[in-house]
Amino acid sequence: MPKTARTQLNTLAAAEHRRSIWVRIGVTAALVAFALIVGIIVIASRDSSTQTAAEPTSVTETGALRAASPNVELAEGARSPKRVLTIYEDFQCPVCKNFEATFGSNLDELRTSGIAAIDYHPIAILDRMSSTDYSTRAANASLCVADSSIDTWLGFHSAAYEQQPAEGGSGLTDEELTDMAVAAGAPDTVQDCITGGHYADWVGDSTRSVLETNINATPTVLLNGEPLDLSTPAALDAAVRAIP
């Protein structure tokens, strides 16, 4: 083969080799870019699936529903109430129903007179006592109602205990909870929130957080963060008013 032809072939071979290298580099870069894109999508999807559950706009920073008169007495030099009763309750809990029947009017008096603020924590520790996770569904429904107003929630709260289903059954249906909510003053649109379990995940997260603080029974009542003896309404009233 003439030298010139051989030189041309070598040149073509070298060019083809370089082109092959660049093709491989391009393919590798494309694969790396594709892998990065897939990784980003997977991470974004994972982050989306583990986002914090929808939080009710009505809860305080402590996760409570606060019922307080506009003229509630404040602590000296602070914007927080001087006296705060904190109540952890489960709408499926018979003892909570008895507590509401015994102390409910007393709590209303302390609240409306401005003596104390009442922080309610609806939690779900008794789902096992119904076949439809009624504790969670009722707590979710109450939070849907609370989006309207705390006064509407208080009306639903009373009705939920008055109509509390027996343990071991299916509990009230979502339709019945919706009817109760509307009767308390919530708009008809509350149905979507209730039937869709809009706050169910939040209820679960909140319940787990509460249990981690060693509060594992309902009702549990605290006065300014300290456990309170639930003997009689008079004793409760006296304990609250005794705080200077």
Q: What is the pLDDT of residues 103-117, one digit of tens each?
A: 999 999 999 999 999
Return the pLDDT at 46.
Answer: 41
Q: What is the mean pLDDT of residues 228-234?
A: 92
- pLDDT tens across 136-186, in order? 999 999 999 999 999 999 999 999 999 999 999 999 999 999 999 999 999
Among residues 197, 202, 193, 196, the alpha carbon closest in space to that of 51 is found at: 202
Q: pTM for the full model?
A: 0.79
Q: Which two tokens stand for residue 202?
A: 């939040």
Strand arrangement of the beta sheet that strand 65-67 belongs to: 65-67, 117-122, 84-89, 220-223, 226-227
- pLDDT tens across 84-100, in order? 999 999 999 999 999 99
Quickly list H helices, the chain.
3-49, 94-112, 134-146, 150-162, 174-184, 190-195, 200-211, 233-241
- pLDDT tier at 33, thresholds 50, 70, 90: very low
